[in-house]
Each structure stands twice: as C-alpha cells, then as structure tokens.
C-alpha cells in the first residue's frame, strides 16, 4: 500500500516556523507535500486570486512557494500540480489561535476548508502562543490527530479545527471535542495621524476577549486542553430556516416595477 499523501499549507507563509514543525511532524506517517503562500496571508479568509496569474516556485524537494492565498495553494495543488489526490490536507501550524468567530477570517482554517470542499479530509492546526515556543509538541499533537483521521476517517463535509495551548506535551490537557465559541471585539479600530497630519486607521486594537460558555473551544483552552472543533460545510441555520418559513414574504406582483 502506498504511503498516505499529505498536503500541507498555512497562512503565515512558507518560511514560518509553524509549517516546518508541522511538515516534519507528519513526515513519519506519509509523503508530505508543501504548497504555501510566499508571505504572511493571515486573515485573508477563504479568498481566491481570480484576477492575476499565480507563480509557483520550488524551494526544495516537495516544497513550493505560491504567490497567493492558502485557498489558492490547495486548489492549485489538488486540482493540478500534485497529480494524485491527497489523503488529507493539513493547514498550519498557525501562530496564534483560531477560535470562535475568528475562524471566519482565518486563512489557516480556509486552507483546510478548501480541502474539505474538494472532498478530502482536512485539519486546521493553530498554536496559541503569541510567540510559539512549543511547536514541536504541537506538531506531535497534530500528528496524533492526523493519524486518527487517516485510520478512522472523518464525518462528511467537516473540517477539524484544532487549537493547541503553547505548552510542552506533558503539560497539555486532554483532547476535547468542542463547539465554536464567541469572540467579543473591543477597541478594534485604532485611529492615528500620519506625519502629515492626515488620519489613518489600523484594524486590531486590544486583544479580543470571548464569551465564557462551557463546551466551547475557548473553554477547553482555558483549562489547558487541546480543542478540536468539527466545522460543517453547511452554514445554514436550520432552526432559523423553520422560523423564517412562518412568515412567508410575498413579492409585490401588482406594482409596475
Ligand atoms: Mn496566520
């Protein structure tokens, strides 16, 4: 049986320490191919480059730098360059958390999401450190999760969003299956003056906080545990769907435009 093919990407860029830690942690369990953005693409979300050419530069054996987004990387690799379908797509290890509402901005999660849309089991991995000190430990956690995915498969149309406290292995709590929590963003927009006295704005002020709720990603992390949140492809609010059907909206058929 051939080795599993593992496609690795990230959003911090191909030179980030997190992707090196992830790739080397996964080497023992498969053939690892890296396609990653040539620069930091954090918070690009699920963006795709539709209006310019994309260049792919080989860096070393099975490592490629792409001047695009994480989604571009996965799309190019899976739909064209790899020539063989990966058994799993792993995105990370991100520098910093991707929990709660932040997953909607995350390029790390989007890289995995694209893998899932292409029908491939997909895992996004983030280390919570502002400066990550225990990437090797996080890599080992990622490997254990990817091994489990390769062995047992995954629920359909699902991305595993993994957040790992920046701790050595023997200080980490258990792996907990969680749901997506809620962020609270405060003082997000910072206004300053440039040297010519003209206002400019910077998005991202104080570190965002979160709502305290049991069972969430934030809750697991607060207790030093590894959070694994299954994210679903279908963003439909099914309860809301039923509620909206209670009040049918009729189009104004008789008006003249
Ligand atoms: Mn990032």
Q: How far is the CA of 10 from the centre of ligand 1 (A)?
A: 7
How far does the centroid of ligand 1 lie from the alpha carbon of residue 195, in Å? 30
**Average predicted confidence (pLDDT) for the chain:** 95
96 Cα to the center of ligand 1, angstroms: 7
Q: How far apart are CA 168 and CA 165, in angstroms?
A: 9
Q: Cα of 105 to ligand 1 centre, how many Å?
A: 10
Alpha-carbon dihedral angle through residues 209, 175, 103, 222, given to the nearest 10 degrees: 0
175-189 burial: b if 16+ Cβ within 10 Å, else e: bbebbbbebebeeee
Residues lying with their CB under 5 A of ligand 1, a single-atom ion: 11-12, 42, 94
Q: How far is the CA of 176 from the centre of ligand 1 (A)?
A: 23
HEC sequence for 237-253: CHHHHHHHHCCCCCCCC
> Which is it for strands 189-193 and 31-37: parallel, antiparallel or unpaired?
unpaired
Kindly give the distance from the C-alpha atom of residue 127 to the centroid of ligand 1, in angstroms, as a whole number: 10
Measured in Å, residue 158 CA sits from the centre of ligand 1 at: 21
How much is the pLDDT for 117?
A: 98
Question: Does the N-terminal peptide bond of residue 234 adopt cis geometry, omega within 30 degrees of 0?
Answer: no
Q: Where are the beta strands (DSSP E) in the chain?
A: 5-9, 31-37, 56-60, 63-66, 88-95, 122-127, 158-164, 175-177, 183-184, 189-193, 199-203, 209-210, 226-232
Backbone angles phi, psi at 21, to 5 degrees: -65, -40
Angle subtended at Cα 180 by Cα 159 and Cα 142, rounded to the nearest 5 degrees: 45
pLDDT per position as a tens digit, 39-62: 999 999 999 999 999 999 999 999
Measuring CA to CA, which residue among 93, 124, 88 is closest to residue 6?
A: 88
8 Å CB contact between 98 and 161? yes
- Ligand 1 centroid, distance to 40 Cα (angstroms): 7
Q: Which pLDDT score is estimated for 1?
A: 67
Q: What's the CA-to-centroid distance between 214 and ligand 1, angstroms? A: 26
18 Cα–ligand 1 center, Å: 10
- The rounded Å distance from CA 43 to ligand 1 centre is 7
pLDDT-based confidence at 192, cuts 50/70/90? very high
| Low-confidence winner among 161-170, 205-214, 245-254 (lowest mean pLDDT) | 205-214
Provide mean pLDDT across the span 28-36.
Answer: 98
Contact 45, 107 (CB under 8 A): yes
Å from CA of 52 to ligand 1 middle: 23
Please report the pLDDT score of residue 186 as a whole number.
80
Report the predicted TM-score, pTM, of the whole model to 2 decimal places.
Answer: 0.95
Whether residue 25 has pLDDT greater than 70: yes
User: Cα angle vertex 175, ends 103, 1, to 5°?
Assistant: 90
For range 75-102, the mean pLDDT:
97
| Ligand 1 center from residue 44 Cα (angstroms) | 9
What domains appear along the chain, each with residue ranges and CATH number? 5-181+211-235 (3.40.1210.10)
Q: Place 126 in a pLDDT band, splitting at 50, 70 and 90.
A: very high
160: helix, coil or strand? strand
Per DSSP, what are the bridge partners of residue 228? 162, 177
Rounded distance between C-alpha atoms, residue 201 and residue 218, angstroms: 29
Strand, helix or coil for residue 149: helix
At 218, which helix (H) or strand (E)?
helix 217-222
Instruction: Summarize the confidence of residues 222-237 as an average pLDDT.
Output: 97
């Amino acid at each position: 049986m051939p080795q599993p093919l593992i496609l690795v990407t990230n959003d911090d860029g191909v030179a980030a320490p997190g992707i090196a830690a992830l790739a080397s942690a996964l080497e023992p369990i498969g053939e690892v191919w890296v396609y990653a953005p040539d620069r930091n693409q954090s918070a690009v979300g699920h963006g795709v480059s539709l209006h310019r050419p994309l260049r792919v530069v080989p860096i070393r054996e099975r490592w490629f730098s792409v001047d695009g987004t994480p989604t571009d990387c996965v799309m190019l690799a899976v739909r064209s360059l790899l020539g063989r379908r990966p058994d799993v797509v792993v995105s990370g290890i991100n520098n910093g958390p991707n929990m709660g509402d932040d997953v909607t901005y995350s390029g790390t999660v989007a890289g995995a999401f694209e893998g899932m849309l292409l029908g491939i089991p997909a895992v996004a991995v983030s280390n919570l450190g502002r400066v990550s000190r225990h990437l090797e430990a996080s890599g080992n956690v990622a490997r254990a999760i990817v091994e489990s995915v390769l062995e047992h498969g995954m629920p359909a149309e699902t991305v595993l969003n993994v957040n790992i406290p920046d701790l050595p292995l023997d200080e980490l709590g258990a792996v907990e299956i969680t749901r997506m929590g809620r962020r609270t963003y405060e003082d997000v927009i910072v206004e300053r003056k440039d040297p010519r006295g003209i206002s400019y704005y910077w998005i991202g002020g104080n570190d965002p906080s979160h709502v305290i709720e049991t069972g969430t990603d934030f809750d697991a992390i607060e207790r030093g545990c590894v959070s694994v949140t299954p994210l679903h492809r279908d963003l439909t609010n099914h309860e809301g769907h039923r509620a909206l059907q209670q009040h049918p909206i009729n189009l104004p058929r008789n008006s003249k435009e």
